[in-house]
Each structure stands twice: as structure tokens, then as C-alpha cells.
């Protein structure tokens, strides 16, 4: 196997977005970093710690309205003055340091991209928070502040001369913010979004169905795969084989950005899926092979959700092993497979319907 250098973006500033007993807790990152320390990942010369920078407000404005940026800043200041956590909406909380941490969260991705494009690392895992994929141009929601991956996409287009980006979002919740932002495509490049998530009829935010395909320049480039509850990772592998791989052979993305949630695990407290700790890494392995073919192996993964701290840490470790071409993955003793009913639904309904919707836009269907 070829030796790989993998960057890990992390900084304690991400712990300063501290929102009390909220499920999107700073302990999620503490759990990941402690596990990587136990496994001596950071001592391995094939891994490199990447420190984030602060993204500029000009860069945040690539996808967000100024009013949203000002709101986050002002509410963080209220929290600073009052000493109390504030709420942007029912789900999304802000502490005194949230505004700063959010700028560093975006800036972590930007530094990761720089290191990849400069050839210092082959690929990057950004262990950042607050997460981003539910926030759209004008509203923060679903525990998310700035949409990290959408800003990273525009950064590639506007500052790095990249023309084609594939976003793969495997968080258990539909990445509705990212979809909203690129629903009509981008004026600055071509972006295809592959979103897999628990069916919106059964989970927040209730969107992301197969007939949601984008419009204008984005028509046919929003690709939603809404998985039934209890689907195991075999179902997302069908998505890769039947949909993602054929489209990418046509689209030839130059850079792959991944919104990685680890809340598809079968024990996750917020969701109802059936993945193991090996699921995301298995999926990533296929994505990586495809990235090597078209994108020179350029993959940046950013952390979104994942609420079982110990399971998430192991799943992240497994993903890092795949990024770094190592085989020593942690495997759950009991493999999980989707039931007959789930498989029948996906094979006879979900995939054929999705192909029918995409047929006018892609030669492969
Ligand atoms: Zn999620």
C-alpha cells in the first residue's frame, strides 16, 4: 500500500462552544481526541495535526447573509455579558465563545484544504465544531452555526480554482442547509451533493426525498437517498454502487468534501438506523477509491453529528485508518445486515425511483 499522510484538524477552541447539557456537547470532541491519544494516532508520523485559522467574515458571506453573521456575533456577546447560554432557536444554542469557535470551525476546513492542495497531506479529517450542515443562507438550525462544508466548497471555487466539487453527506439527518445553499447550484463552479440519511418522514429535519433534485444550474445535482429506519450500512453501499459511482464517472469531481455524521450507529440516541462502527469507514473506502480515480485522492471530511461518544470515537478512528491506507480497523463482533423488508424497499422502490428522477440529467441512467 502507498504511504499516505493524513491531516487531522483540531484545536481546543472547538471546546469553547460550550452549551451546557446539550446533546451536541464538547465531550464529543474530547471523546474523539482521547481515543486517538490512547491509540497513539498523533504519535504516528503518517498523521499530522493541522491547526485552524479564523475564517474571515468575507468568506462566511460566500454562503451566509450578513444578518445571520451579525446575529451569531450579537447573541454570543449577550451570552458573554449575561454569563448564560442563549438559544438561536429551539435546538441551537450559543455560548460566549460560539462566534469565535464557529469562525475557527470554518477556518479549520480552509487550512485543511490548503494543506491538501499544497501537497503537504493527502487527505484531511476535520474534528471541528460547531457543525454546519443544517444552516442555510439566512438561518442557523439543528445545532449548526456556519455551514462549514458549503463555505469550503465556495472557497475551492473562488480562491483555489477548483471547478467541480462533490459533497457527500452521510450524517443520519438530511443536510438541508447545504442543499438549500446549493439548490440552484453555484455561480462559481459545479457542485453535486450526494445526501444519504434516515427517511425524513421519520426524522428531523423532515426533508431530502428523491424528487428533490435542485433547480436552475443545480437541477439534477442534488441527489437524495432517504433510507428507511433500521437500514444497515449495506444500504448505503448500494447507493454508492448504483448512484454515486456512475455519476462521478461522468462528473469527474476534482475534490471530495464529506459531511460526516456518526449518528447512523444503531445505538445512537437521536436516530433509528442500523450501522456499526465500521459502516462509515466501509463507505469511505469506496469513496476513496473513486477519489483516487478523479480527484487525485483529495478528500476532506468534516465532522457533523454523532451522539454516542464512545461509538463515534471508534468510527472516527476507523475512518482515519482508511484515509491513511491502514487495515487495522475496529470491528463490532456482531455484523448487522438490513432486513428483507428494508432491502426490498430499497431495491424495488427507492433506487429505481431515484434513477428515474435523475435520468434526464445523467447519461448513466
Ligand atoms: Zn445528524
pLDDT tens for each residue of 75-116: 999 999 999 999 999 999 999 999 999 999 999 999 999 999
| Mean pLDDT value of segment 48-57 | 98
Q: What's the longest Cα–Cα distance across the chain?
A: 58
CA 263 to ligand 1 centroid distance, Å: 6
80, three cell numbers: 458573554
Measured distance CA(309)–CA(26) in Å, rounded: 10
Q: Taking residues 237-248, what's their average pLDDT?
A: 98
Whole-number Å distance between alpha carbons of 221 and 212: 10
Predicted confidence (pLDDT) per residue in 164-193, tens digit: 999 999 999 999 999 999 999 999 999 999
Q: How far is the CA of 240 from the centre of ligand 1 (A)?
A: 20
Could you say which of 134, 197, 265, 357 is catalytic?
134
Measured from the Cβ of residue 214, the count of other Cβ atoms closer than 10 Å reads 21
pLDDT for residue 335 is more than 90: no
How many A from CA of 219 to the centre of ligand 1? Answer: 25
Q: How far is the CA of 118 from the centre of ligand 1 (A)?
A: 31
Task: Report the pLDDT averaged over residues 319-331.
Answer: 93
Please state whether the peptide bond connecting residue 96 to the residue before it is cis, i.e. omega within 30 degrees of 0.
no
Q: Catalytic annotation on 197? A: no
Distance 160 CA to ligand 1 centre (A): 29
Q: What is the pTM of this model?
A: 0.98
Q: What is the CA radius of gyration of the chain?
A: 19
Q: How confident is the model at residue 247 (pLDDT cuts 50, 70, 90)?
A: very high
β-strands 164-169, 6-9 pairing: unpaired
CATH architecture of 6-358: 3-Layer(aba) Sandwich (3.40)
d(C-alpha 102, C-alpha 97), whole Å: 9
User: Hey, is 164 helix, strand or coil?
Assistant: strand
Overall average pLDDT of the 116-133 stretch: 98
Query: Judging by DSSP bridges, how do beta strands 47-50 and 6-9 pair with one another?
Result: parallel
Residue 1: its pLDDT value, please? 64
Listed by start position, the domains of the chain span 6-358
Give the distance (Å) from ligand 1 centre to CA of residue 142: 8
Amino acid at each position: 500500500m502507498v504511504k499516505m499522510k493524513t491531516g487531522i484538524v483540531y484545536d481546543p477552541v472547538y471546546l469553547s462552544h460550550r452549551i451546557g447539557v446539550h446533546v451536541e456537547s464538547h465531550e464529543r470532541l474530547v471523546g474523539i481526541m482521547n481515543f486517538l491519544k490512547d491509540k497513539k494516532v498523533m504519535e504516528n508520523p503518517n498523521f499530522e495535526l493541522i491547526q485552524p485559522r479564523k475564517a474571515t467574515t468575507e468568506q462566511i458571506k460566500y454562503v451566509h447573509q450578513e444578518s445571520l453573521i451579525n446575529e451569531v456575533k450579537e447573541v454570543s456577546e449577550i451570552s458573554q455579558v449575561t454569563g448564560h447560554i442563549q438559544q438561536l432557536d429551539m435546538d441551537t444554542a450559543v455560548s460566549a465563545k460560539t462566534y469565535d469557535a464557529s469562525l475557527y470551525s470554518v477556518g479549520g476546513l480552509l487550512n485543511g484544504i490548503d494543506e491538501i492542495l499544497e501537497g503537504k497531506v493527502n487527505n484531511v479529517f476535520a474534528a471541528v465544531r460547531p457543525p454546519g450542515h443544517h444552516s442555510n443562507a439566512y438561518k442557523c438550525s439543528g445545532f449548526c452555526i456556519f455551514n462549514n462544508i458549503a463555505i469550503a466548497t465556495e472557497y475551492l471555487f473562488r480562491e483555489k480554482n477548483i471547478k467541480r466539487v462533490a459533497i457527500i453527506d452521510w450524517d443520519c439527518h438530511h443536510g438541508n442547509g447545504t442543499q438549500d445553499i446549493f439548490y440552484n447550484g453555484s455561480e462559481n463552479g459545479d457542485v453535486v451533493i450526494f445526501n444519504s440519511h434516515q427517511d425524513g418522514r421519520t426524522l428531523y429535519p423532515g426533508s431530502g426525498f428523491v424528487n428533490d433534485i435542485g433547480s436552475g444550474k443545480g437541477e439534477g445535482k442534488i441527489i437524495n437517498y432517504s433510507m428507511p429506519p433500521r437500514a444497515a450500512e449495506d444500504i448505503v453501499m448500494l447507493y454508492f454502487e448504483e448512484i454515486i459511482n456512475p455519476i462521478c464517472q461522468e462528473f469527474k469531481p476534482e475534490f471530495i468534501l464529506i459531511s460526516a455524521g456518526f449518528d447512523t450507529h444503531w445505538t445512537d440516541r437521536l436516530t433509528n438506523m442500523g450501522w456499526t462502527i465500521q459502516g462509515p469507514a466501509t463507505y469511505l473506502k469506496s469513496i476513496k477509491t473513486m477519489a483516487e480515480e478523479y480527484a487525485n485522492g483529495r478528500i476532506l471530511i468534516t465532522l457533523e453529528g454523532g451522539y454516542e461518544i464512545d461509538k463515534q470515537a471508534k468510527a472516527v478512528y476507523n475512518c482515519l485508518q482508511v484515509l491513511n491506507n491502514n487495515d487495522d480497523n475496529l470491528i463490532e463482533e456482531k455484523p448487522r445486515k438490513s432486513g428483507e423488508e428494508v432491502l426490498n424497499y430499497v431495491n424495488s422502490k427507492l433506487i429505481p425511483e431515484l434513477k428515474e428522477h435523475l435520468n434526464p440529467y445523467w447519461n448513466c441512467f
